[in-house]
Amino acid sequence: MEKKITYTISLIFLVVGLSFLVNSQANITGAVIGVSTLSSTKGYFTGAFFILISFVLFAASIGGLEKKIKVIDHIREIKSIEKLSKISRKDPLVAEYLDQLRYQLGQGNTEGGRGSKNIPGTKIYESRIEKARLYYIQTKDGFDVIGESSKNNQQKVIDALKRYYT
């Protein structure tokens, strides 16, 4: 919806810019260029400004200026955390919830599921939903996923993460 609004506004700016250019009383005929008045010069620059803004808005509406969010998986780097993650994913419902949380994180939504909270004394965040927990660290480009757990092995995973990431 937001992209559609931005696209519509860019079209409005384009039309306004073109109308300023057309109504600026251009004195260009063949090889002879007439003397421009101050008001026609203002019309040129105003029209060009509106057209430039319309191109910027159009680029934003098609996603050309959006920042891509990177979600990098670091779970396999530490064997004990990888093992706990595999235990958690044995339950198909937990695996599905973890995938949902990961997808939400990739969309930039840190409040997916029941929200997220910081693990006290660390830079680690826990995103949770029903029986699943996803642990991540926020970076300048996105998120580093560093752990997964079910409700059952949540404390074991938090303890392991604290050993490696504090």
One domain for residues 117 and 144:
yes
One domain for residues 57 and 81:
no
Q: What is the mean pLDDT of residues 44-63?
A: 81
**Kind plus residue range of the DSSP H or E element containing 89:** none
- Residue 73, pLDDT > 80, answer yes
- Residue 159: partners with Cβ closer than 8 Å, 6 or more residues away: none
φ, ψ of residue 4 to 5 degrees: the values are -65, -40
CATH code where residue 76 lies = 3.30.2310.20
Say how far apart CA 2 and CA 23 lie, in whole Å: 32
- Residue 35, pLDDT > 60, answer no
How many domains does the chain divide into? 2
One domain for residues 78 and 160:
yes
Boundary of a domain, candidates 61, 80, 97: 61
Print the domain residue range for 20. Answer: 2-61
**pLDDT on residue 52:** 87
One domain for residues 74 and 131:
yes
One domain for residues 75 and 154:
yes
One domain for residues 91 and 25:
no
**pLDDT on residue 65:** 53
The closest of 122, 72, 130, 68 to 98, measured between CA atoms, is: 130
pTM over 0.75: no
Boundary of a domain, candidates 34, 61, 88: 61
**pLDDT on residue 47:** 81
Least confident among 84-93, 101-110, 146-155: 101-110
Strand order in the sheet with 116-118: 70-73, 142-150, 132-138, 124-129, 116-118
One domain for residues 78 and 106:
yes
Q: What is the mean pLDDT of residues 118-142?
A: 93
